[in-house]
Structure 1
């Protein structure tokens, strides 16, 4: 219960990595709010699972691609929680195509959610974020590695890590620690370990397997907890060695 008495907001927390993070932070003692874009049933299931385990949880609809909606979701979460001690930005989108097939729309959508949505949400949360709080951004090892047809997505995740490094300096005077967790291939319903490209991806991973959502949640829990009190402005790769 290392987070007993803390509050946490997890954007994009209805399923996959986001849901695992929300559940882990709640298991560690935090009261948790999640936002979701459109899948209310999945968000309700995550909240129900946390409450069934004895935790406190709320869910609010917020579209990270829409600044007004993103701000409203943060405000609702802050009102429900009373304050925000831990902000985890997990909401993101990925669209893969080679540069010749990219469009303005796919570029704008990915940067709109993965970078601008994160920027808007952080600014909205700052008045509610406790001094000594934590901001944890979910990036990707794709921000460091080049794969075919992923240039735009990779660029957004490189930007995420850059924002964290800059914000760590901006917010150091408030002792707010800002870090990035960069997952490698993780077994989710959007990227299953038995999916079409899984065997190709596993070839890049020294440990020879996809990661589990719980392994990302564990890294987030560490950065949110007291043992990470002297870590800020860094990236933590949770990728089975893929980016080593």
Structure 2
């Protein structure tokens, strides 16, 4: 456990999966949480209820990170409710599309890079609004370090996020704000669409012998947003079970 008492965290895309696990973990460590969702209001409200049962406060906001005004309003409403924002976790994602380069359509490409654009402007707003000594963590993918056939566009969309973060870390260092990315390996969520044979192969290639779990990623995030991680910035932390 880390001590996040009195902190406020925005966790985008936190109504389910890895985002939900992050929101619940940070709440368990004492942070108030802004839960954001794209369309699953009922699911987001359930997460808010779970968070409040931990003795901290939470609100749910509908946010489409593709829309810059939505992003700005997210910070405005968070500050109106909690008074400040100390932590941003960029977790919101769209559909991950894996296709050979010759088959990828412009629309499919744009659907992934529109999220990447949204992450950039979420980082921009965080740079304006975050408290000094704050923490920013964005979710990337282990695919940026491990070449995946048919994964070029997807990996490229996440590699850009890593570079946004590396640059921002240098820009915000004088305010003692740390900026990092976390690159999960294959994680067992409802968004994992693989045949069992493929899953078995991945498990066999992973030194720790299993798929990742959302809590595995949440635990790494909790460490990075804690005071103990004040000397870690501009880094991409691989949380992959050793597959890369």
Cα 1:25–1:240 shift into 2, 3 Å: same
Match of 2:99 among 87, 97, 118: 97
TM-score if structure 2 supplies the norm length?
A: 0.94
CA contact (8 A) 1:13 1:21 kept: yes
Partner of 2:221: 220
Cα 1:98–1:37 shift into 2, 3 Å: same
For residues 73 and 129 of structure 1, the distance between their equivalents in structure 2, rounded to whole angstroms, comes to: 12
Partner of 1:71: 72
Partner of 1:39: 40
Partner of 2:151: 150
Q: Are 2:111 and 1:109 equivalent residues in the alignment? A: yes
Offset at residue 193 of structure 1 (A): 8.6
For residues 184 and 104 of structure 1, the distance between their equivalents in structure 2, rounded to whole angstroms, comes to: 27
Q: Are 2:129 and 1:128 equivalent residues in the alignment? A: yes
Offset at residue 31 of structure 1 (A): 0.6
Partner of 1:140: 141
CA contact (8 A) 1:177 1:231 kept: yes
Partner of 2:51: 50
Report SS of the residue matched to 1:197. Answer: helix
Structure 1 runs of 4+ with >3 Å offset: 192-197
Structure 1: give runs of 5+ residues left out of the alignment. Answer: none
Partner of 1:241: 242
Partner of 1:161: 162
Structure 2: give runs of 5+ residues left out of the alignment. Answer: none
Partner of 1:4: 5
For residues 58 and 193 of structure 2, the distance between their equivalents in structure 1, rounded to whole angstroms, comes to: 27
Q: How many residues align?
A: 242
CA contact (8 A) 2:67 2:118 kept: yes
Offset at residue 228 of structure 1 (A): 0.5
Deviations 1:45-88 (A, max 9, x none): 11111112222111100111222223222322232221110110
Q: Are 2:95 and 1:84 equivalent residues in the alignment? A: no
Deviations 1:193-219 (A, max 9, x none): 985631232233222210111111110
For residues 40 and 228 of structure 2, the distance between their equivalents in structure 1, rounded to whole angstroms, comes to: 34
Cα 1:83–1:189 shift into 2, 3 Å: same
